[in-house]
Amino acid sequence: MIVRQLYSSALVGIAECLHPVGDETWNRTVSVVSEVPLIVFPRVPVLITHVDDEPMLADPTVAMLYNPQALYSRERRSERGDHYLELQLGDELLESLEAELPPVLRDGRWIVSRARADRVVYLHQHLLARHLDAEASPDPLLVEETAHRVARGVLADAGERGAPRRAPTRQRHRQIAEEAKQELAASLKGPIGLQELGRKLGQSPFHLARIFRQETGYSLHEYRQQLRLRLGLERLRDSAGSLTALALDLGFVSHSHFTTAFRREFGLPPSAVGNLRETRRILEAARPLPGLTRNAYWL
């Protein structure tokens, strides 16, 4: 495991973590190495199984919530291993979030294991990591307020979606949705139809589509598009200027198809993500949008 601590204060720590393909922790039950609760933003898909819970695909459309010393295992789903950004939440930040949001903590521990990471939350945590990676002396106010905004966005969703243990039917629906996510993550490049996907999972096509939307909040097509774009966002710094190759590798038909979809999703072109001055401007200009959900922030 490779850990780069990007920022640390009494309020919040921010680290970038990598488990290479050859890491010894694969397919083993391990404990979370932390004294504080964590919010984790996966960079690539990986299958996570918490002790006493069902397997779930941790991918860039979700934020995972880990308790200190919790037991879990991971299975590889990407040739890149496991790569994620970790927010380490100090006591004062946790207290602030608990006072503002629906209950997601009990006795200092998460009572839910994941939440959706909406497009703005995901973009801002990515830009925050890039800012910290580039700045020798980052502005603590900017970093800590951005971290609070990102955490608040995640936990507002977690509180709204948190529920007691699911009934058998709901548990089965969750399992079907997880299986569909794994199939889609494994076939990003090639086309796949609803009938084919339903046949692979032993479900009727439209029953599958309905269950998936109920469980994830996305249509099947929307989910795959979200996954392609967020993986693209992470790989921009390694693309060596070849957006066409990156676009095709992600399943887009052309450079312009990827650029148009990226701008529509994140509100800026791919070229802006590599501009460190633009990155800081976006983080500094972030404001809540009036009249929208409490976790809605824009550029």
pLDDT tens readout for residues 262-296: 999 998 889 888 788 888 888 888 765 333 344 44
Q: Is the pLDDT of residue 32 over 50?
A: yes
Cα–Cα distance list, 272 to 225, 229, 275 (Å): 20, 15, 5
User: Average pLDDT, whole number, for the chain?
Assistant: 87
Interval 166-219: pLDDT, tens:
567 888 999 999 999 999 999 888 788 889 999 999 999 989 999 999 899 889
Kindly list the distances between the CA atom of residue 133 and the CA atoms of 7, 34, 106, 281, 284, in Å, as whole numbers in the listed order: 9, 22, 33, 16, 17
pLDDT score, position 105: 82
Which domains are seen in the chain, by residue range? 2-161 (2.60.120.10), 168-267 (1.10.10.60)
Residue with token string 């038909």: 253
HEC string of the chain equals CEEEEEEECCCEEEEEEEECCCCCCCCCCEECCCCCCEEEEECCCEEEEECCCCCEEECCCEEEEECCCCEEEEEECCCCCEEEEEEEECHHHHHHHHHHCCCCEECCEECCCEEECCHHHHHHHHHHHHHHHHCCCCCHHHHHHHHHHHHHHHHHHHHHHCCCCCCHHHHHHHHHHHHHHHHHHHCCCCCCCHHHHHHHHCCCHHHHHHHHHHHHCCCHHHHHHHHHHHHHHHHHHHCCCCHHHHHHHCCCCCHHHHHHHHHHHHCCCHHHHCCHHHHHHHHHHCEECCCCCCCCEEC
Q: How far is CA 34 from the centre of its chain?
A: 19
Decide if pLDDT at 298 tops 50. Answer: no
Mean pLDDT of 30-39: 95
Across the strands, what pairs with 288?
297
Tens-place pLDDT, residues 246-271 = 999 999 989 999 999 999 999 888 98
Classify residue 241 as exposed, middle or buried by CB count within 10 Å of its CB (0-12, 13-18, 19+): exposed
Residue 103 CB neighbours (<10 A): 12
Q: Could you tell me which residues are beta bridge partners of residue 41?
A: 85
